Amino acid sequence: MGPLSNEEVIRKVSTNFVPIAVNTRKMRDKSIDTPSTRFFRKVSDQTTQGQGVWIVTPEGKVLAAYHGPSDLTERTRGFLETIDAGLNAFGEVTPREFKLMNPLPYRGAGVEEDGQVTLAISIRGTNGGGKPGHPVVVEEHSAWLWKGEFRQAGYAIFDSVTFTAKEWTSFAPAQTEVGAEWTIPVAVASQFARVVAGRTDRSTMFRAEDAKLAKLTCKIEAVEGGVARIRLIGGFDAVHAVESNKNKPVFGQAVAEGIALYDLNRRSMQSLLLVFHGTFRDVPPHDKTAHPVSAAVEWRVEAEKR
Amino acid sequence: MKASFAITVVLWSVHVVAAAERPTLQELTTKAAIIKPRPDELKWQHIPWLTDVAEAVRLAKQEKRPIFLWATTDEPLERC
């Protein structure tokens, strides 16, 4: 939970500014030349920071900028000081009323016009819950991490995975009687490798091509009221070389258990829930402990109306 | 670590066949609720973010207000 979840920061940003969120890699991609990328480069060239916050005029003049330390209290204070400095430099601003917007309306809900769907992914370090069926042999010194009730043990990582219309059809049954079984193609299942994350940054994120095992099977276990209940069971194993050092891989493993509902009359998926339990090993020499990590992957057919 | 893949395959097989009772949708939903972000972890979504810089610049000029530009090396509104 960073400074952007601080209520004073939220109030000041929402009522005084036009807030924009961008990916610096896309903005700095020299093959992309648009008014947006030109504006961003004009702004970022005025300071030495590579990412963070810039307070700028509509013409692109930087009034204040900040990329603070990891300490949350100090960083939040830095955000507020930067906001105030930017507002003072800009001059009078009429506070605006704003309405809540959803910048990711298809995250975890609905089908887009071209048929693609985006599953919402939530990842978190967890403790407890035991380890029946767990995919990794856990060293004795860290076995305590699985004792007790299943509980949170870290911050949540907010992520998603998008499937094309063709990929999404692999989750639907070809045969609709109870007991029908099928396997999700490896190219599709591999895209779940990213859920076994120990950290939020993309440098340690498992890509589909990092998957050494990506097995996800489906079986209709019941049909009630024209809706098939599909049981999903999976196993995943991935190794990823971090961008800064190709000789330092991270390791992730997980098992998955889930249920999807499929409307047999409409021939369409209604919902999907997958829960992953696994372990993440950081780069050497920090790979001695397998850290428990869990993920929830969700989607429902109704798009949110906001 | 090289042995881990083989271990995964073996234990995944056990995972598939051994569980006499699979979790219900309610049980899975309860676990998912523990994993998912708490409301206090999603407060940043209350900010009316735009992702189109050109549109934001147009709006800032129209409303005569400064721009709060938040930039990260990842997707700032997604994997974060």
As a whole number of angstroms, the distance between CA A183 and CA A213 comes to 13
pLDDT tens sequence across A38-77: 999 999 999 999 889 999 999 999 999 999 887 788 989 9
As a whole number of angstroms, the distance between CA A58 and CA B63 comes to 10
pLDDT tens sequence across B25-59: 999 999 999 999 988 888 888 898 998 999 999 99
pLDDT at A194 over 80: yes
pLDDT at B14 over 60: no
User: Of B5, B22, B50, B53, which to mutate for an interface test with A (greatest number of A Cβ within 10 Å)?
Assistant: B53
Local confidence band at A297 (pLDDT 50, 70, 90 cut-offs)? very high
Question: Do the Cβ atoms of A56 and B69 come within 8 Å?
Answer: yes
pLDDT at B8 over 60: no
As a whole number of angstroms, the distance between CA A254 and CA B8 comes to 8
Strand partners, B67: A18, A56
**Per mean pLDDT, which range of A127-136, A220-229, B19-28 is the poorest?**
A127-136
Question: Do the Cβ atoms of B51 and A134 come within 8 Å?
Answer: no
Local confidence band at B74 (pLDDT 50, 70, 90 cut-offs)? confident
Relative orientation angle of helices B53-63 and A35-44, to the nearest 10 degrees: 80
For A303, which DSSP code? Answer: P
Of all residues in chain A, the percent with pLDDT exceeding 90 is: 68
Helices (H), chain A: 7-16, 24-28, 35-44, 72-90, 165-169, 186-189
Encoded amino acid at A195, one letter: V
Nearest CA of chain A to the CA of B74: how many Å?
Answer: 6
CA A198 to chain centre: 12
User: Of A11, A20, A82, A229, which to mutate for an interface test with B (greatest number of B Cβ within 10 Å)?
Assistant: A20
Higher pLDDT, A304 or A37: A37
Question: Do the Cβ atoms of A7 and B79 come within 8 Å?
Answer: no
pLDDT tens sequence across A93-118: 999 887 766 778 899 999 999 999 99
pLDDT at B10 over 60: no
pLDDT of residue A96: 87
pLDDT tens sequence across A256-287: 999 999 999 999 999 999 999 999 988 888 88
Residue pointed to by tokens 């990590």? A293
Mean pLDDT of A128-148: 75
Could you give the C-alpha distances from A131 to A148, A149, A289, A294, in angstroms and in order? 11, 11, 15, 12
Mean pLDDT of A121-139: 78
DSSP assignments along A212-265, one per residue: EEEEEEEEEEEEETTEEEEEEEEEEEEEEE-TT-TT-EEEEEEEEEEEEEEETT
For A107, which DSSP code? Answer: B
- Average pLDDT over chain A, rounded to an integer: 90
Question: Do the Cβ atoms of A50 and B73 come within 8 Å?
Answer: yes
Contact call for residues A223 and A217 (beta carbons, < 8 A): no
* Percentages of chain A per state (helix, strand, coil), in multiples of 5: 25, 35, 40
pLDDT of residue A44: 93
Residue pointed to by tokens 């009522």? A15
Residue of A36, A205, A221 with shortest CB distance to B52: A36
pTM of the shown model: 0.81
As a whole number of angstroms, the distance between CA A54 and CA A43 comes to 8
Contact call for residues A138 and A288 (beta carbons, < 8 A): no
Relative orientation angle of helices A7-16 and A72-90, to the nearest 10 degrees: 20
Question: Do the Cβ atoms of A87 and B53 come within 8 Å?
Answer: no
Q: What is the ipTM of this complex?
A: 0.82
Which residue, B69, B62, B51, B40, is CA-closest to A96?
B62
pLDDT at A219 over 50: yes
3-state secondary structure of A131: coil
3-state secondary structure of A18: strand
Which residue, A275, A282, A291, is CA-closest to A122?
A275
As a whole number of angstroms, the distance between CA B8 and CA B13 comes to 8
pLDDT of residue A306: 42
**Residue B16: CB atoms within 10 Å:** 15
pLDDT of residue A70: 74
Contact call for residues A261 and A222 (beta carbons, < 8 A): no
Q: Highest mean pLDDT range out of A90-99, A135-144, A156-165?
A: A156-165
pLDDT of residue A105: 85
Phi and psi at B45, nearest 5°, equal -70, -15
Could you give the C-alpha distances from A211 to A116, A191, A195, A207, A241, in angstroms and in order? 23, 8, 11, 7, 12
- Would residue A77 be called left, alpha or beta, if left means φ above 0 and alpha means ψ between -120 and 50 degrees? alpha
